[in-house]
Copies of this chain bind each other. A is one copy, B any other.
Amino acid sequence: MSDILPSWNDGKTKETIINYVQSVTDPNQAAFVPVKDRIATFDNDGCCWNEKPAYIQLFFSLARLKQMAADDPTLRGKPHFRAAYEGDMDYFAQLDPHAGGDVQDLLQVIFDSHAGMTQDEFEAMVREFMNTARHPHFDVPFKQLVYQPMVELIHYLHDNDFKVFLCSAGGMTFMRSVAEDVYSIPKERVIGSNISFNTEMTDDGPVVVRKPGLVEPIDDGPGKPINIELHIGRKPVLAGGNSDGDLHMLWLAQTGSYPSLSLLVHHDDAEREYEYDIGSEKTLKMAPERGWTVVSMKNDWKTIFAWQ
């Protein structure tokens, strides 16, 4: 067992996870879950990778809006282009809906930075950004801001024949551009929010292009069970999240016919990462009431980032 989840400290949380996986994969136990029903769903921002001082995807938006505003000065008349051009990170941080931001303001930033190109072009932009741009606080490429204990947990679940999905409010294509590389999660198992797609018929055949517009529902809160139904068609038996946007998903795992495990990652490590409960108040309150396992980043994780 010492080889399992090496970046997790020994203790009750690690024991709970390993006991759960061992019991549901043991055909001699009542808790056994058939392979086809071993579905795990994880939130991404703040659960599998860092989300402070702002979502990684917002840093991407900022970089792209900044480039656009540099190329076209007339764009600087708009607040989000101006903030990007001037490097005003506070403007972007306050867009987070979980921190009281206005969803419409956030969407405008997303539309202006994420639409107007093909899927192939957008994915290339995201990969370039994730591999080369650096986080302002940690000063490493953004791709290195995945939580090592969660990567190990995903691999551990794969080794036990779980199908592991990301189910996050973040952009689906944004996550898919790097999810195989950083988590070993194939694209079709990444569920997220989407701007509109359109099929344009060209002389070379159909091309999918990105348009300003929102695919309902956003993959957050009550939207998560809907998107899980659309993309998986089964309830997860294991779910992980970190905010009130994950409340429905964490509870959904308990509504099936199998034993379940709901994990709530708690950002309580101001030294190695960030310490905040904002946007997670309801979920933190509900965790003990519903038997969810709270993961303390400070106490349960030996390592947070692989490079630390």
B208 in contact with A229 (CB, 8 Å): yes
Q: Could you tell me which residues of chain A, from 220 to 253, have a CB within 8 Å of some CB in chain B? A: 222-226, 229-234, 248, 251-252
A232 in contact with B201 (CB, 8 Å): no
- The closest CB in chain B to the CB of A187 belongs to B233
**Contact residues in B for A207 (Cβ distance below 8 Å):** 255
B180 in contact with A36 (CB, 8 Å): yes
A172 at the binding interface (Cβ < 8 Å): yes
- In Å, the complex CA distance between A22 and B230 comes to 33
**Contact residues in B for A215 (Cβ distance below 8 Å):** 230
Q: C-beta contact mask, A164-194 vs B, less than 8 Å → 1, else 0?
A: 0000000011001000100000111110001
A266 at the binding interface (Cβ < 8 Å): no
B233 in contact with A188 (CB, 8 Å): yes
A254 at the binding interface (Cβ < 8 Å): yes
**Contact residues in B for A173 (Cβ distance below 8 Å):** 233
A252 in contact with B206 (CB, 8 Å): yes
A residues bordering B, Cβ < 8 Å? 36, 119, 163, 172-173, 176, 180, 186-190, 194, 197-199, 201, 204-208, 215, 222-226, 229-234, 248, 251-252, 254-255
Between-chain CB contacts (< 8 Å), 26 pairs: A36-B180, A36-B186, A119-B229, A163-B188, A172-B230, A176-B233, A187-B233, A187-B234, A188-B188, A188-B231, A190-B233, A197-B229, A197-B230, A198-B226, A199-B222, A199-B225, A199-B248, A201-B248, A205-B251, A206-B225, A206-B248, A206-B251, A206-B255, A207-B255, A208-B226, A208-B229
The 10 nearest A-B residue pairs measured at CB: A187-B233, A199-B222, A205-B251, A205-B255, A197-B226, A199-B225, A206-B248, A206-B225, A188-B232, A208-B229
